Chains A and B, each alone.
Chain A
Amino acid sequence: MKIEFTLNNEKLSIDVDASRRLLDLLRDDLGMSSVKEGCGEGECGACVVLVNGRAMNSCILPAGAIIGKSVVTLESFKHTDRYKAIEAGFLKAGSVQCGFCTPGFIISTESLLNQNPNPTDEEIKEGLSGNLCRCTGYNMIIKGVRLAMEMGAGLW
């Protein structure tokens, strides 16, 4: 079927099976390779994208669910000031190791700060609890979010 939605601020109208996973639509059909597949069942968060500003697992979302909505991936988000603040925070805190979970963590951080520009550490932990990381043990990612929030104060 034909679905219309906005991807990275660009209006699209494409023919796709409404049950196709949003993840496959984004990665295979539209070339958004920042969106990663880590588990395929909504557990690891490597595939999260922003749907109307909220982080959603694209592996368990059918393409039909995004009709008329705005989908944002790192491909466009990386050009924003908010991204720059998150990048600076993550670099300074050493939040990145293997990097496979990283795009998901960035999107979840944006979603979290969008809803709560001043989260406590507990709220950061909760906000990131849908994203798995096997390398860092999380503390350095939590610190990265805190630094991003401080360095980007006023952006959210």
Chain B
Amino acid sequence: MKEPISTSVIRVDSRKKLRGEAQYISDWKFEDGLFAKTVRSTKAKASILSIEIPDMPEGFYIVDKHDVPGVNKMRTVVSDHPLFAEDDVQYIGQPILLVVGPERETIYSIASEIKINYQEEPALFTLEEAEKRSTVFTDYNYKKENPEKAFVSAKKIIEDTFSTGYQEHVYLEPQGAAAEFKEDTLFVYGSMQCPFYVKSALLEAMALPEDKVRVVQSVTGGAFGGKEEFPSLNGCHVAIAANKTKHPVMMIYDRDEDILCSTKRHPSKVRYKAALDENDHIIALDIDVLLNAGAYNGLSPVVLQRAIFSATNVYNIKNLNVRGRNFMTNLVPSGAYRGFGAPQTIFGIEMLFHNIAVKLGVDPLEYKMRHLLKKNDPTCTGGQVHEEVKMPEIINKIVKNSDYYNKLKSNKKYQGIGISLFLHGCGFTGKGETMINGKIILVKNKESVTLKVSSVEMGQGAETALRKIVSQTLEIPIEKVIYEKVDTGLIPDSGPTVASRTTMIVGGLLRDTALEMKKSWNESDNLELSKVYKHPSYLKWDDEVFKGDAYPVHSWGANVAEVEIDPVTYELTINKLYAVFDVGVPIDERALIGQMEGGMVQGLGWATIEVMESKNGKLIQKNLTDYKIPTSMDIPEINCDFVLNPYEFGPFGAKCAGELSFVGSPPAVAEAVANALNKPINHLPITPEVLMEIDHED
């Protein structure tokens, strides 16, 4: 009997991991291998005057900008980050050179003896300073209908500003990479999400032909966006070192180094101005999104795009003027992190709706429901909501599951319940998918079927989900479906493992190809089929003016949080969390609940306890003693439920899920806290100090 697709199977990668046999990059051994340690800037902005290197013992090397065979820039969306500092540094932690050698202790001690003489320059750190000095990297704007006219005709105009802090990924496995030459081919191995990003970065940095570079993913211990663009930097570092030393070179970051110099979630400020008509309906929004991009722009423009395209969330607002800016500051570059800009604006608009409803004296949930998007409504960018919108069903379900209204009525001081509504645009923004045109290959052998993709298993369950899609389509056991090693020499580029696109896009290609294979199943023992992504023809997008369908489809959801605040210490306890998601059809229910709960708890961390601040460009929280993430003692009971809503172009009806899990819990908790204190919550994280201050405000 064929099981339904959502019925859970044992994850294919779990036994090896349980037995401690999975080989992460730090477990790899190389014969004659060397280790590398990065020497970094200790200044936020300075010219490098000179570098004093101590006498080097034999077999130890310095690797720096002079050793880059190709371009000394990390290739990404904006390739502005030097692999090794040229004559200046722009942030504390910026890589200047590597010390490479056979013993770890010795390279650490050499690194500590290197003296760099700087000429310091005035630096800037905060969004406020950056805005004042207009250090704008990227400035986007889009409009819908006629916001100017709407503001003139408005009966009320309400303004509000929201801000959020940094978040560090804290994947449990720190960044790590290794490189070696086998004959004249460069192999780079490492913990990563995007092998072909690393490969294209290497081609530029190493000036090698396409067929002389192979990138191989090692077992990856969590990523959450933190291993999207960053491994292109450390991957180039080890490659340059291997090229110079003629030895394999491995570089594994310590946790404090990882926290200090890897990308983070963008700190943000979002200003909303709402125009209300005589029925208190929001007829226009003017939205101004500011992200702190840090010292280099890198991937930030695309993060900013998702931030501004998510800024109206699940609501149909007739007139819009939306501006988004990335600002340069002398801080570690911000980058990809689960949600990719959307959590910042979705927190803002959820709180905006709450604050307006409270001002008007109406029920916030009811006020939100008046503005909900429906099927065929225009999206914020003037595209169309093509899918069935099941928000009413989602809301009914979560209200019932959580007994929301009864609990809201019995709201007491220092106790509160809150609800958030949200969506996530599935897959790449705008033209992203058609710029990559991902390819997959499916090979039928005598005994098995091999799938070849560049999607990586990093904990999210991609290997199980994709093998399951093929196995269920072909009606063969999952054990008979082999996942080709993620080695760019063996697999096609089906795109990076980002943007919640793996199951829906890559899984969709596999499903279609497997269906074709099934038709000719009995023709031969050896079949090879491949498929290239084709964008559904009804989707339109203009990248110049940001008009059309920014996303092919959306996943939707609602979260409810119940909180309690200690009236003396202001310690915040989240007692319960409820969630209802529409992710199309779950490919594996247990694996999906694991994703959703994990994402929600990460969201709780960002919203409540994860404080990261900088002083004069230096991060204050530099290790896991200072930077606290949720432990088993901090988590609420979670009730996770789904609404089915099959998507025509997704495998078995699946849409996106991984990032959707993150966006809802922060505003749900923030609203619960707002209700508990009867005060607006416009900033995250909500620490006890912040709560005490808010409670004592008049």
Contacts and interface: CB of A to CB of B under 8 A. Distances in A.
Are A and B genuine complex partners? yes
Contacts of B602: 134, 137
A134 B222 contact: yes
Contacts of B637: 139
Given A38-B255, A137-B638, A99 B17 contact: yes
Contact of A99 (B219, B224, B635): B219
Nearest to A136: B598
A142 interface: yes
Interface string A11-38: 0000000000000000000000111111
A122 to B, nearest CB: 9
A91 B18 contact: yes
A33 B13 contact: no
Nearest to A142: B632
Nearest to B11: A96
Contacts of B459: 97-99, 135
A147 interface: no
Interface stretch (B79-87, B587-595, B683-691): B587-595
Interface string B459-485: 111000000000000000000000000
B568 interface: no
A134 B610 CA distance: 13
Contacts, number: 162
Contact of B173 (A73, A74, A100): A100
A132 B633 CA distance: 11
Given A97-B594, A139-B638, A132 B172 contact: yes
Given A96-B18, A135-B222, A135-B598, A129 B171 contact: no
Interface in B408-463: 458-461
B141 interface: no
A37 B19 CA distance: 16
B96 interface: no
B173 A136 contact: no
B220 interface: yes
B643 interface: no
A129 B10 CA distance: 26
B629 interface: yes
Q: Which residue of B8, B222, B254, B635 has the most chain A CB atoms within 10 A of its CB atom? A: B222
Given A134-B172, A135-B222, A43 B18 contact: no
B20 interface: yes
B173 A103 contact: no
Interface in A76-124: 78, 86-87, 90-91, 94, 96-103, 106, 124
B232 to A, nearest CB: 20
A128 B637 CA distance: 16
A34 B173 contact: no
A78 B20 contact: yes
Contact of A97 (B20, B26, B598): B598
A96 to B, nearest CB: 4
Contacts of A106: 18, 20
Contacts of B623: 39, 41, 43
Contacts of B16: 99
Contact of A41 (B19, B255, B591, B633): B255
Nearest to B28: A33
Interface centre among B172, B254, B599, B631 (most CB of A within 10 A): B172
A90 B14 contact: yes
Contacts of A140: 593-594, 597
Contact of B633 (A33, A44, A46, A129): A129
A74 B21 CA distance: 9
A140 B600 CA distance: 13
B221 A138 contact: no
B20 A103 contact: yes
Interface string B163-190: 0000001111110000000000000000
Given A101-B172, A125-B632, A94 B18 contact: no
B44 interface: no
Contacts of B18: 78, 86-87, 90-91, 96, 99, 102, 106
A1 to B, nearest CB: 18
A146 to B, nearest CB: 13
B22 interface: yes
A33 B27 contact: yes
Contact of B17 (A96, A125, A129): A96
B632 A134 contact: no
A98 B254 contact: no
Contacts of A39: 255, 623-624
Give the interface centre of A41, A43, A135 by most chain B CB atoms within 10 Å.
A135
B20 A98 contact: no
A90 B22 CA distance: 16
Interface in B20-54: 20-24, 26-27
B106 to A, nearest CB: 14
B370 interface: no
A133 interface: yes
Given A90-B14, A98-B458, A137 B20 contact: no
A99 B14 contact: yes
B625 interface: yes
A97 B461 contact: yes
> Which of B631, B633, B637 counts the most chain A CB atoms within 10 A?
B631
A152 to B, nearest CB: 14
A44 B259 CA distance: 14
Contacts of B219: 99
A75 B20 CA distance: 7
B68 interface: no
| Max count, chain B CB within 10 A of own CB: residue among A94, A103, A133 | A94
B590 A34 contact: no
B601 interface: yes
Interface in B625-648: 625, 629-633, 635, 637-638
A132 B45 CA distance: 35
B15 interface: yes
B624 A137 contact: no
Nearest to B259: A39
A40 B24 CA distance: 17
Contact of A129 (B11, B15, B173, B632): B632
B629 A134 contact: yes
Nearest to B600: A137
A33 B173 CA distance: 13
Nearest to A130: B631
25 contacts: A36-B24, A36-B173, A38-B173, A46-B172, A86-B18, A91-B15, A94-B594, A96-B13, A96-B18, A97-B222, A97-B594, A98-B220, A99-B459, A100-B221, A102-B17, A128-B632, A132-B624, A133-B172, A134-B598, A134-B602, A135-B222, A135-B460, A137-B600, A137-B630, A140-B597
4 residue pairs, one from A and one from B, having the closest CB atoms: A34-B20, A98-B459, A99-B17, A100-B221
Given A90-B18, A98-B173, 7 more contacts: A33-B27, A97-B598, A98-B223, A98-B459, A134-B169, A134-B222, A141-B632
Interface of B: 8, 10-11, 13-24, 26-27, 169-174, 219-224, 254-256, 458-461, 590-591, 593-594, 597-602, 623-625, 629-633, 635, 637-638
